[in-house]
Amino acid sequence: MAQISPKFFLPESFQVARDDIAGQLGLIWELIKAPLIVPLLKVGVYICLVMSLMLFIERLYMGVVIILVKIFWPKPEKRYNWQPIQEDIELGTSNFPVVLVQIPMFNEREVYKISIGAACGLSWPSDRLVIQVLDDSTDPVVKQMVELECQRWASKGVNITYQIRENRTGYKAGALKEGLKRSYVKHCEYVAIFDADFRPEPDYLKRAIPYFIQNPDLALVQARWRFVNSNECLLTRMQEMSLDYHFKVEQEVGSATHAFFGFNGTAGVWRIAAINEAGGWKDRTTVEDMDLAVRASLRGWKFVYLGDLQVKSELPSTFKAFRFQQHRWSCGPANLFRKMVMEIVRNKNVKFWKKVYVIYSFFFVRKIIAHMVTFCFYCVVLPLTILVPEVHVPIWGAVYIPSIITILNSVGTPRSIHLLFYWILFENVMSLHRTKATLIGLLEAGRANEWIVTEKLGDALKNKAEATKNKTNTKTFKRPRFKFLDRIQTLELGFAVFLFICGCYDYVHGKNNYFIYLFLQTLTFTICGFGYIGTIIP
């Protein structure tokens, strides 16, 4: 029997129409590629190469300076003439300054006891310490629990107050500002701030406060964060690598060279007079801590960072919480840069080179360029050059410079060096959200002032693990489970498809073998797109 022709099932008119459409699309692509696509992509390559060089020079500068600081710079206690405060036999504790401790909270069911207990355990004269719990909780059950905990400590003789507001105007900045308005605060010289998941050691104030005594121009003493759940999952390990570089290099360099860095919002002690002179807390951006630090610095105040003074804290262990946090941390600085750049330029209280450092290094390169070049170059421009072979990316820009930057970024966490390659892939995924947030901040678009409190789990997961290990029947915390559809992130999955197509094209037609990177990056985008990065054990 004669073979049936495929045209029996597919009308000839449709076949012709389909071929005609494909031919027309191909013709249109050829017509616009040479005069439009190729020039635009070349411009994109040049811009990305310039940004890469800017970031490379910045990282190289930071690396050289941190080496010099570690070898030649005197320790902070020598630079600032640190001397312990001793209790006087005649004066008693009156030579200890009165310190206010502020703990801002919002529905912190899992960690409120930890933070309040740590603050109440500070080894400072009880008559010279005031603890202020600023509770903006909307859950009445949580509010009652926090208030009862404050009353429990107050019954033990601790000077602790529980403070609430009628609304959450200004979020954290509003709560801190409201707390400083209380009449009893006028007797306090310094204020220590701890977020709800932070647990200072008992000697924290005795190590931090003496820096202020001999240095009247010192406004801020910042401690380093130490992460209690860094080994929980791959997500927390990745965060540890990024934050360790920030604390071990960026903060250290800023403190040693210009006595300026961005306040981390917690685990720091401020001179209250400096806060007032700088204009107090403002809620115009989602980085009220950085805003205050820049304004105080422009008025001549100095900061000191103490890398050996560490405060325990918690990293977000769910991808959803981490994304919200990164949006706030990326959008806020860009928005603050938009609002303050001309104020910094016109300022006459600081030296020219400090202005250059703040505008170019602190804001432009670290808060804007670093996010954009990672996403634009490695997730957009480089894959597109595979589809448009007329555009060439030099090997030094595609491989050598990024490799050196990555090595310099990873020096802060040598124990995780074996995770370096996956960290690169994960940071590329997060650069998508950071770039989006940065643009929102620069343009002051819809989500510029979005504030979503980072979810905290406290010791719940550790208690669960211990209970499982001991095979007890104690009721333990269960990590919140999300429905499958709630996990899906369409942006990540969309870029996974795009990178997969580029990888397949490079495998068939390419010459640079970028498909190896593209397929691995596709896998990482896919894992994050389905929200499972927080469940992978390192």
Dump the DSSP string for 313-372: E----SHHHHHHHHHHHHHHHHHHHHHHHHHHHH--SS-HHHHHIIIIIIIIIIIIIHHH
Instruction: For residue 285, give the DSSP letter.
Output: S
d(CA 249, CA 66): 6
Q: Three-state SS string across 44-73, please?
A: HHHHHHHHHHHHHHHHHHHHHHHHHHHHCC
Domains and CATH numbers, the chain: 94-213 (3.90.550.10)
Contact 205, 264 (CB under 8 A): no
d(CA 142, CA 331): 30
d(CA 146, CA 131): 13
Predicted pLDDT of residue 354: 93
d(CA 55, CA 59): 6
Contact 332, 442 (CB under 8 A): no
Predicted pLDDT of residue 293: 97
CA 116 to chain centre: 24
- Give me 29's structure tokens: 């692509």
d(CA 162, CA 168): 16
Instruction: For residue 391, give the DSSP letter.
Output: S
**Block residue for tokens 């801590």:** 289
**Block residue for tokens 């870029």:** 495
Query: Chunked in runs of 10, what are the mean pLDDT values of the chain (538 residues)?
Result: 46 56 71 85 96 96 94 93 83 88 94 94 94 94 95 95 90 94 94 96 96 96 95 92 94 94 96 97 94 96 96 92 92 95 93 94 96 95 91 92 89 85 93 95 85 70 50 48 67 94 90 89 93 69
Strand order, beta sheet including 190-193: 160-164, 129-135, 99-105, 190-193, 268-271, 218-227, 302-313
Predicted pLDDT of residue 174: 93
Predicted pLDDT of residue 13: 53
Active site residues: 136, 289
Predicted pLDDT of residue 484: 56
**Block residue for tokens 């966490």:** 413
Torsional sign, CA 124, 127, 128, 130: positive
Predicted pLDDT of residue 385: 93
**Block residue for tokens 């860009």:** 334
d(CA 415, CA 412): 9
d(CA 472, CA 463): 11
d(CA 128, CA 348): 37
d(CA 109, CA 520): 39
Specify whether the backbone of 521 is left (phi greater than 0), alpha (psi in -120 to 50) or beta: alpha
Predicted pLDDT of residue 477: 46
d(CA 268, CA 261): 12
- Give me 341's structure tokens: 């750049």
Contact 168, 135 (CB under 8 A): no
Contact 326, 452 (CB under 8 A): no
Identify the helix (H) or strand (E) that includes residue 407: helix 401-409
Per the DSSP assignment, residues forming a β-bridge with 101 are 131, 192
Predicted pLDDT of residue 480: 52
d(CA 216, CA 223): 19
Per the DSSP assignment, residues forming a β-bridge with 209 are none
359: CB partners within 8 A, 6+ apart: 341, 344, 345
d(CA 274, CA 190): 10
CA distances from 469 to 220, 441, 463, 473, 537 (A): 43, 46, 10, 11, 17
- Burial letters for 398-418: b for 16+ Cβ neighbours within 10 Å, e otherwise? beebbeebeebbbebbeebee
**Block residue for tokens 């990177």:** 517
**Block residue for tokens 């050059």:** 385
Predicted pLDDT of residue 468: 43
d(CA 49, CA 310): 38
